[in-house]
Structure formats: C-alpha cells, structure tokens
C-alpha cells in the first residue's frame, strides 16, 4: 500500500440554482448493487502543466464539475430510505465530495496497472457507517504523483446511475472542462419507467432471475463463501484468441442460427473455466448473471440521454457437468437464451413484479454495507458484465487522454468485466475477481484450453 497524503476536501455544488425536491427512483435503481462503484484514470504529465500552476488542475476540475452539476443535478443530492427497502432521491444540491491528495510514488510504480489493494488510497473512500442520507452520491479524488502525473478516481452511486449514465456524465464533464458545450443533455424524468407509481398489474411472465442463485452442494447459506479472501487479475485476450474462441463456439452450429457473439462466446468460456477451477461436481447447479441494457430493447426506446439505471440482470442456468462436457456452443446458447428474453414485454413485466413486492431488501446487494444478505454471485456462480459498448477510453479534460482507465478495486468473488484492450484493436481484457484458492487454477484452465 503506497502512502498518500491528503491535502484537502471540499463539497462542489452546482454552479447555478437547480431544481430542489424529491425525485422518485425506478425499480432498476433500487435493486442489485446500490452502493458505490469506483473507476480510475491515470494521466502522464502534460506540457501545459507547471509547478507554478499545479493548482490549476484542481481548479479546472472543480470549476467544470460545478457547471456539470447543473444539468446533472441529481448527483449533487442525497438518497434516503422511504420504507419497505425503497429509496428516493432528495435533490438538495448539497454537492459532491472532491478530495485532493499527493504521493511520492511515480506512475511507473504501477507496472501494468493491474487492479489491486495498492489502489485503495487513490480511490475516495465511502464511509458506509454513516446514514445513507449523509453519503455523497459522487466522490472524486485527484492525486498528484512525484513524477508530475496525476490519478483521477471517482466513486459513484449505482443507485443513481448505471455504467452508461455514469460515463455519459463523466464525458460531458470533460467536454465542459475543454470549453465545449454539452453533447447530449441528460433526460432526468424517471417516470418513463413508472418511477414512484404504485403497481397497476401483476407480472405477465415468470421472473426466476429474482430468486437467489444456487448454493454449493451441501451448504445451507453463503456465509462461509463470502468470508473467503479474493484476488483480482486482468487477463489479456489477444484478437487471435477471441477469434479462436468464436470458432470453437460456432463449430457445428446449424446454419439457420446466428453466429455467437464475442460476448456470448467469451462469457461461456469463462463460465466453463470457473467450474473447472472450482472443482465443481457434475451435478452442481451454477448461475451466470448477465447485465442487459434495456434502453433500445423497449418500445419505444428510452429517450436519448436517459440518466439513471436502465440495466437489468438476467440469469443463465446450467450444471457444471453440462458446461464442462459439452461443446462451448452449449454454454453460449444458454447465455443467448437469457439475453433474448429481454423484450419490451419482459421489462414491464419485471417492473410489475418488483412493484408488487412488499419489500425490496432481498433484491439488494449490500456487500459494502457489511451485510451477508442479498444475492451472492460468488462460488458456485458468477457475473460477467460487458463494458464493450461503453465509451470508456479517451477522457480528456484539456491535458490529453489517460494512459490507463479501468475499474477500481473490487473484491466480490465471481465479479468480472469484459473490456476492450485499448492497446490492441480487436483484443479484449477480462477483469476477474476470484477466491484466492481458485485464481491460479482458473488462469491455467483459461489459457491451456485455448492452446489445446
């Protein structure tokens, strides 16, 4: 863990008056991960910087952030519980937390920037011992390195935005910092998803995705699995490996069926390797969580710039024995089957299902709040989230693009992301969190099975 000295902390508020009042949240805002999600950016020293103007970096960020919080004013507010495991957003313009820090470390000390606990001091900490109505929805930390480089990290509440909306905000903030106007104005009215409205119908479809995922055979709960230490690795997947996996998945596929995508292929392969690494029995049930963006799957599509959570998780189910013994296309087919369920009718049926629930607590992932309740996608399950279509890279506040961007530390077994490799066209990265006892076995199976 590298030493970081904290120089100051302030609240950045909207640059001009914004609407004040209670904003209803949609059902998608209030289930799954409702804690904060970190991202981190590293920048080399810019020719525009000098020691005499070091404060200008912070001033530029804070001034443009203040202006960004006018159109994106919900981020300057606070959440509050309203009973029955439900939340609403108090748009009160209290502001977001901005932290300044410095370290004697150099950017080169990070090597290949593999996420690890060494990042912890560079990411703003959320004090979950405080009541939820006291927690900022966005925390930003600017850390200066002795080499002149900087780290910019953000921790943003998943109860307010999903990945698409978070990156929309961040990219618009950067545009404002460079002197440009907004490219896409955020659409803030969550009533397009009937936010805050009472139930009007029972669900029309079944929704097994809201059931708790399978347990390890012989266990009655997830308490012990949640306690086991985890580690994070980023596996580089060159383009030729991506193509080889697609060939494996599509080998023998009936010509009447559409070829499996790189997400379906790679995710199916990860699922198989996880079963092998964890040494599951053939009869072990296992679930794979797939995160789907519903914006363009609804009729009509959600308005451009919809600012909130519009993603939902669906579940692919199988047994370890089937996944390991059958061709890769079997795993890919299970994933496609789950994805194709998400239609306009399915989204509204799922919303009706949640609106009819007396309490939403059991659908909420409260790991960071110290709870052992809520869904657990660790052993024997996992979740694979795609960031392949998100505008992740090239965040320029006026001093050039980052040299590295990625997820912050995450320590939940089975939590994984697929990202584009910014250094290779067509290459991918797999950011995987796994129990320590299984990580090396996973890597061995992952690469050996491709080679042979």
C-alpha torsion sign, points 277, 280, 281, 284? negative
Q: What tokens does 201 get?
A: 């119908």
Question: CB under 8 Å to 451, separation ≥6 — which residues?
Answer: none
Cis peptide bond N-terminal to 410, omega within 30:
no
Among 387, 365, 371, 378, CA closest to 434: 378
Measured CA to CA in angstroms, residue 128 lies from 100, 134, 349, 369 at distances of: 21, 10, 33, 6
Lookup: tokens for 62: 């804070």
- Pairwise CA distance, residues 408 & 122, whole Å: 9
Q: Catalytic residues, which ones? A: 158, 396
Question: What is the residue whose two structure tokens read 């001091």?
Answer: 121
Q: Is 122 helix (H, G, I), strand (E, B) or coil?
A: helix
Cα–Cα distance for residue pair 346/354, rounded to 1 Å: 12
Residue 108: which residues within 8 A CB-CB, separation 6 or more?
147
């Amino acid at each position: 863990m590298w030493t970081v000295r904290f120089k100051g902390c302030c609240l950045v508020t909207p640059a001009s008056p914004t609407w004040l009042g209670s904003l209803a949240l949609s059902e998608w805002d209030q289930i799954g991960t409702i804690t904060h999600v970190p991202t981190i950016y590293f920048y080399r020293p810019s020719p525009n910087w000098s020691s005499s103007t070091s404060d200008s970096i912070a001033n530029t960020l804070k001034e443009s952030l203040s202006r960004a919080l006018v159109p994106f004013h919900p981020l300057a507010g606070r959440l509050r519980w309203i009973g029955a495991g439900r939340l609403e957003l108090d748009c009160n313009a209290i502001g977001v937390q901005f932290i300044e820090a410095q370290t004697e470390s150099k950017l080169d000390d990070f090597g290949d920037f593999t996420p690890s606990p060494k990042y912890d001091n560079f990411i703003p900490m959320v004090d979950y011992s405080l009541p939820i109505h006291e927690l900022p929805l966005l925390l930003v930390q600017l850390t200066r390195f002795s080499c002149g480089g900087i780290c910019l990290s953000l921790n943003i509440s998943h109860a307010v935005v999903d990945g698409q909306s978070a990156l929309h905000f961040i990219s618009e903030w950067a545009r404002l910092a460079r002197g440009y106007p907004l490219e896409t104005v955020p659409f803030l009215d969550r009533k397009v998803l009937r936010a805050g409205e009472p139930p009007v119908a029972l669900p029309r479809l079944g929704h097994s995705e809201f059931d708790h995922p399978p347990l390890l055979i012989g266990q009655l709960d997830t308490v012990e699995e949640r306690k086991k230490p985890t580690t994070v690795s980023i596996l580089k997947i060159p383009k030729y490996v991506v193509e080889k996996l697609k060939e494996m998945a599509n080998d023998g596929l009936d010509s009447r069926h559409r070829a499996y995508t790189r997400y379906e292929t790679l995710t199916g392969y990860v699922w198989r390797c996880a079963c092998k690494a964890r040494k599951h029995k053939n009869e072990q049930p296992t679930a794979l969580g797939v995160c789907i963006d519903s914006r363009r799957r609804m009729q009509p599509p959600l308005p451009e710039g919809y600012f909130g959570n519009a993603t939902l998780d669906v579940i692919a189910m199988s047994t370890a024995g089937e996944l390991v013994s059958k061709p890769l296309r079997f795993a890919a087919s299970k994933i496609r089957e789950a994805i194709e369920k998400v239609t306009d009718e399915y989204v509204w049926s799922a919303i009706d299902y949640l609106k009819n629930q007396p309490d939403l607590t059991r659908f909420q992932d409260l790991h960071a709040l110290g709870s052992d309740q809520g869904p657990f996608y660790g052993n024997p399950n996992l979740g694979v989230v795609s960031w392949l279509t998100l505008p992740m890279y090239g965040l320029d506040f006026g001093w050039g693009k980052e040299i590295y961007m990625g997820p912050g530390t995450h320590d939940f077994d089975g939590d994984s992301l697929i990202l584009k490799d910014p250094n290779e066209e067509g290459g991918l990265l797999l950011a995987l969190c796994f129990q320590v006892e299984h990580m090396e076995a996973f890597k061995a199976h992952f690469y050996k099975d491709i080679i042979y």
